[in-house]
Amino acid sequence: METITDQNWLLSVGTFLPLVGVLVMMVIPRAEEQLHKLVTIVASGATLAVGIYTATQFDFDRANAMQFYVNEEWIEVIRSNYALGLDGISMPLYLLSMVITFLVAIYTWDNMPEAGNPKAFGILMLVLQVGLAGTFVAQDLVLFFVFFEVVLLPMYFMIGVWGGAQRQYASLKFFLYTMFGSALMLVSILALFFQTGGESFGFLHFLDVAGTLDRDVQVWIFAGFFVGFAVKVPMFPFHTWLPDAHTEAPTQGSVILAAIMLKLGTYGFVRIAIPFLPNGAREWAPVIGILAVIGIIYGALGCLAQTDMKRLIAFSSVAHMGFTMLGISTLTEFGINAAIFGMVAHGLITGMLFFVAGSVKHRYHTLEISRLGGLLVSMPRLGWILGFCAMASLGLPGLAGFWGEFPAILSAYQPGFGLSEELYRVLMVIAAVGTVFAAGYLLWLYQRTAFGEPKAEFAQPVHSVSAAVNQEHDDDDHHVELHDVNRIEWIAWTPILVAIVALGIYPKLLFDITDPAVSDLVARLGEHLQP
């Protein structure tokens, strides 16, 4: 793979800039709550600015090359380097992480979760961002693993301290699942290192020697990576942490989890497991495909059974990530492009759905679907946004969700590298049925929450007065006053809504970035595959 080393300080700055915010916040006393929120916003905003500047400097004509490539000695004794790089596969996710963290920081201005303490919350969020961005640009397995793990503790505390009633159980479950996955992944990382001669942990090195490994060895090493990444995605049957974690997490945690953290798993497959272990990937692809489709159907059925809005959205993630994994498992250019598009689209749409759920919870103090109703009457704007996101999520053409789902299903028609066409066509049909389910549960959710008249307990005249006045009463359970989308929410949400439409109407925007890198990846796969 070719590398471009111009302006190679950019990625380091973009990744570690949030830490400056952390340092600043550490010296500010805890009582300065608004100031802490402001620093969080400024730090994540500055990070995003660096990210956008990086995007402007990115050479889109050579999106298949590793750009801004840094490769400095880090721990020479184990031949691990500090290597960062950005190509068309990393770029969208790297930017996505920055955008989402920034918007979440803005959202927090008005919507601090109950436990309070914006200082700690903001610090955790910024540390989390470092781990997320770092994972997407790391070009060395040890460095990747370090970033991958950095994410773990902040999220654990975010769920455990600021979460709902069952937060301790949910956070522990999340931690143990992920820890278990990482342990197996670490074994695979070491095995890969020693089996390829113990020369380097660099991604580029592994790409060069990919395929020289014995087929059986590849299959075993892939197994470790598979579990490590599948837990994160999450794929059926490793998904059970997700509904609990999502439901109990504070809104901010849910959004970051859904929008970015789940992508660490799928990204790992695309960046590491498949290209480094071509034969392992081919042997495992049918398993991944089958589990992905089980996930689609299982997630959809799970959604239909939920009575809690947030839990329903959480289950829908299992289904959506199923489409992404199905696309990846075809090992085709088409499928993997669709998968990356699906990651971004799911990040925006489901992130947005969790925002809406958070705002509903903030106003109604419940997410019981049976108690909600008449959103369109009591809060028309919020109701419309929910409807818009539901449409996007079910894959309505013209919105971003469509371009993640539809090509992924299509790609299963003709899987690559001699994978069984019969199997994949069956999978394709089942996945297509899954989209119908998706329409079912999302529309049903929308119908129950948004249509009709508001339930008696929440019935009241519609407020059109300024939201700020009502907000002071929000903590009072006995006297719920509903107000529509307020200014902060508009600021935080508009970019996401615009992006969903923009990517839906003009998907080339994203496909153009990812395609060169993906086609290189698939071509290399073909070269390295042993018969």
Binding site for another protein (CB under 8 A): 30, 73-78, 117, 119-120, 145-146, 149-150, 152-153, 157, 160-161, 167-168, 171-172, 175, 179-180, 183, 187, 190, 194
Q: How far is the CB of 157 from another protein (least distance, A)?
A: 6
Residue 368 φ/ψ, nearest 5 degrees? -60, 120
Considering the complex, state which of residue 26 and residue 465 has its C-beta at the smaller distance from another protein. 26
DSSP code of residue 269: I
Considering the complex, state which of residue 40 and residue 411 has its C-beta at the smaller distance from another protein. 40
Q: How far is the CB of 178 from another protein (least distance, A)?
A: 11
Half-sphere exposure of 291 (CA within 13 A, CB side): 20
Q: How far is the CB of 75 from another protein (least distance, A)?
A: 5
- Tell me which residue of 339, 177, 338 sits closest to 243, measured CA to CA: 177
Considering the complex, state which of residue 13 and residue 172 has its C-beta at the smaller distance from another protein. 172
CA distance 115 to 106: 18
Q: How far is the CB of 512 from another protein (least distance, A)?
A: 35
Q: How far is the CB of 161 from another protein (least distance, A)?
A: 5
Hey, what long-range contacts does 419-427 have (CB within 8 A, 24 or more apart)?
419/282, 419/285, 419/286, 419/289, 419/330, 419/331, 420/286, 423/286, 423/289, 423/290, 424/289, 424/330, 427/289, 427/290, 427/292, 427/293, 427/326
Considering the complex, state which of residue 74 and residue 417 has its C-beta at the smaller distance from another protein. 74
| Angle, helix 487-505 to helix 508-528, in steps of 10 degrees | 60
Q: How far is the CB of 150 from another protein (least distance, A)?
A: 6
Q: How far is the CB of 171 from another protein (least distance, A)?
A: 8
3-state secondary structure of 227: helix
Considering the complex, state which of residue 229 and residue 315 has its C-beta at the smaller distance from another protein. 229
- Tell me which residue of 297, 337, 288 sits closest to 319, measured CA to CA: 297
- Largest Cα span, the chain: 72
Structure tokens at 277: 């272990």
Considering the complex, state which of residue 153 and residue 369 has its C-beta at the smaller distance from another protein. 153
**How many C-beta atoms surround the C-beta of residue 423 within 10 A?**
15
Considering the complex, state which of residue 61 and residue 76 has its C-beta at the smaller distance from another protein. 76
CA distance 56 to 525: 30
**How many C-beta atoms surround the C-beta of residue 379 within 10 A?**
24
Q: What do you get for the CA distance between the two ends of the chain, in Å?
A: 23
Considering the complex, state which of residue 167 and residue 311 has its C-beta at the smaller distance from another protein. 167
Considering the complex, state which of residue 121 and residue 298 has its C-beta at the smaller distance from another protein. 121
Q: How far is the CB of 81 from another protein (least distance, A)?
A: 11
Q: Are 403 and 515 in contact (CB under 8 A)?
A: no
Strand partners, 86: 67
Q: How far is the CB of 168 from another protein (least distance, A)?
A: 6
